[in-house]
Structure 1
Amino acid sequence: MPKLCFVFNGFFYGGAERQLIYICNGLAERGLDVTILCLKRGEAYKDLLSSNVKVVEPHYNYSFIKTLRYFSDIIKKENPEMVISFLFQATLISRIFKLFYRYRHITSYRNTTYGSFLRDKLMLCTSFLDNYTTGNSNNARIKLTFRSRWDKFVSIPNISKVAYARSSDEIERSDFYFIGRLEKQKNVINLIYAFDNFKKANPSDKKLFIIGDGSLRGELEKLSEDLDSCDNIIFLGIKKDINEYLVKAEAIILPSLWEGMPNVLIEAMLLKTPVIATPVGSIPEMVDHLQSGIIINSTSKDEICRSLEYFLNLDKESKIKIAENAYESAKEKYSKESVINQWLALIAKS
């Protein structure tokens, strides 16, 4: 097997960053020589990293030009046979430098869009530089890879680290939860409007807990205050162990505008916590509507509210069935052993 160098922006909070660590740990456990090259300094999730994985990161955060020089210097020093890139900046740099250093290259798409037309076009137009491309959603193949290279696209799901599931008789308890970054992509503004409307139409003691942080947190907290919903919508910030909260939730709400394969959805399914989510990214491939979760018709606040009301009116047996179906669907598909085997097969043929 080749010497591997995984490249990403750095150790920051996010699903892609956690998945990279899980994959690197799994490959190192199988005896591969794995290095992580960070473009920026960060501290998130380092405690999850295996001691068998080497980490290279800058002394401080460089300008873009200095980052290019830093990347070139590390590639010369480490001399990897294969580079695997995650996220936009790391992928663009890794693809361009492949022209000079001739390493084999795999891009791992973690979303079906990079958030803007220009970024998506840059990813599409440079995709020919990959030996293979992988993603956790088949939609990424269509949007971010040339049709002539679809045979070089391999779909590999995320790894779940959930090791236990709660019993089905705990399904109907507590409140609704959102877990994720507080950014435009996650559509939390429409969730807040929807939950406010839901509470007005369905008086109850149910609350919405929002776990996560991001650039929109202040704006979202102010919106909650303006709607006089502070008692019902509670911001908890970043929490290290989200499983502690997943097991308390009556349901997880994921109202995203776009996604790849959301880790929180997998973890909820494996903890038998029902999921209410929009039909973006891999979600329609992961959730069978009314069988293993609730698919919201659109990302609008009205449709989010309707889905909350629909779930509220389900009887306990229906909620238990949805949760059990989700668990059975997820427990084999997202196991560490299965996903690492798929990565090993991809690396071998690249």
Structure 2
Amino acid sequence: MRNNKKRIIGFVCTSFDNVAGGLERQIIRTSESLNLKGYKIYIISFDNNSAKSFYQIPNQIEWLKCGNGLKPHTSAKKYQRLKQILHLRKTIKKYKITDIITFHHGIFPRVFLASFALKIIHIVSERNSLKNYDYIKLNKINLGFLSLFFANKITVQLKSYIKDYPFFLRKKIYVISNILKNPLEKYKAPDLNSNKVAMAGRLCAQKNFTPLLDQIKKSNSNEIEVSIAGEGGLRSFLEKEYNEQIKNSTLNLRGNIKNIDSFFSESAIFCFPSLWEGYPNSLVEALRMGLPIVTSKRMKYLTEFVENNVNGLILDDNDFLFEIKKLIVDKERLNFMSLQSHNKYIALCKRNPIKDWIKLIESNYQ
């Protein structure tokens, strides 16, 4: 018999400070759902006391900040990092954490050291495809990746990601998809008569917004209007590089948006040009609102989400603008793709990730 009231789970991530990303939404949704099932949940981050969450954290979920004066996502001297790890250890002991779910292997060494010799069950929840190492300077064989050997269990978001891991790790890898919002009660097409193309995500290199924007700039095209929801370190670059497009409203940088449904419903197409993804949260939200999808051939493995000429187009990056301009005036095709996107979302919602999380957590005690 499950005695989940004795399970005290800490969800550990790098930062929650004004971050409007898919990871933060998923941590809140998962923690709230598990709390309703009787688990005591804490959100733990390496933020400092002044940090504020972009999304509302439910009152029954406590956010524990263990930054210890260090800024998230930055390097630190060894003694400073050690003090931070010791602070995390005190927090784990104070709140009697029994299970820790660490979001991504990059911070797992810190978490593992902080809990060393404590009776803690460790689950590492991977948030990216390992394809990300093809696009960043860090070598795949790094301390964080090697630390996965010490995890009790590992989760990935898509089955296709398992094969990217070494054989000796695969036996402890489980597939758990993201928690999704309920489908719309009745299908309603977005504004397919508009000329708006939506993109969404953190303003960073991974999201790869520039190919389409470069094509618009080079051709001096004003036939479509691109709106990007999200914030990040590339904002100043985008504002400078595409200043003329912003002035003539060909490009609109909308910043972080709380009502993403409204944002998507104003558009006719969702462009998804990422270099890599974990679970494609913004893509899924666009499917929910019935948007036709234009994405890169890098995403061709995401057949559960996008099928070429069914609910979207899978293209070379260089063809984005040309194909979008053709598609956006083909209203019959847009309407067909929109309905297919809606159907894709319905199919995705048939999964039960909370049931999968509970099964995984409890398997550690059997």
Q: TM-score range by the shorter chain?
A: 0.7 to 0.9
User: Post-superposition shift, 1:149?
Assistant: 2.1
* Aligned match for 1:18, one of 15, 25, 41: 25
* Aligned match for 1:178, one of 182, 196, 199: 199
- Does 2:57 correspond to 1:45? no
The 1-side partners of 2:346 and 2:126 are apart by 23
In structure 1, the partner of 2:65 is 57
**Residue type of the partner of 1:176?**
V
User: Does 239-248 or 49-58 show the bigger shift?
Assistant: 49-58
User: Post-superposition shift, 1:119?
Assistant: 5.9
- Does 2:120 correspond to 1:112? no
| Consecutive unaligned residues in structure 2, runs of 5 or more | 71-79
- Does 2:297 correspond to 1:288? no
The 2-side partners of 1:83 and 1:321 are apart by 44
- Does 2:176 correspond to 1:156? yes
- Give SS of 2:83's match: helix
- Give SS of 1:110's match: coil
In structure 1, the partner of 2:259 is 241
- Give SS of 2:138's match: helix
Aligned length: 340
In structure 2, the partner of 1:8 is 13
User: Post-superposition shift, 1:284?
Assistant: 4.1
- Give SS of 2:271's match: strand
Taking the TM superposition and a 5 Å limit, the aligned residue runs for 1:116-131 are 116=136, 118=138, 120-122=140-142, 123-131=144-152
User: Post-superposition shift, 1:169?
Assistant: 7.5
**Residue type of the partner of 2:288?**
L
Taking the TM superposition and a 5 Å limit, the aligned residue runs for 1:229-308 are 230-280=248-298, 283-297=302-316, 300=317, 302-308=318-324
- Give SS of 1:286's match: coil
Kindly indicate whether the alpha-carbon contact (under 8 Å) linking 1:198 and 1:309 is maintained by their aligned counterparts in 2: no
- Give SS of 2:241's match: helix
User: Post-superposition shift, 1:17?
Assistant: 1.3
User: Post-superposition shift, 1:81?
Assistant: 1.9
User: Post-superposition shift, 1:348?
Assistant: 1.8
User: Post-superposition shift, 1:27?
Assistant: 0.6
- Give SS of 1:5's match: strand
Q: What do you get for the CA RMSD once the two structures are aligned?
A: 2.6
- Give SS of 1:100's match: coil
Deviations 1:164-186 (A, max 9, x none): 26523843334111111111111
TM-score, reference length from structure 1? 0.87
Alignment CA distance shift 1:292-1:198 (3 Å)? farther
Alignment CA distance shift 1:45-1:344 (3 Å)? farther
| Consecutive unaligned residues in structure 1, runs of 5 or more | none
In structure 2, the partner of 1:35 is 42
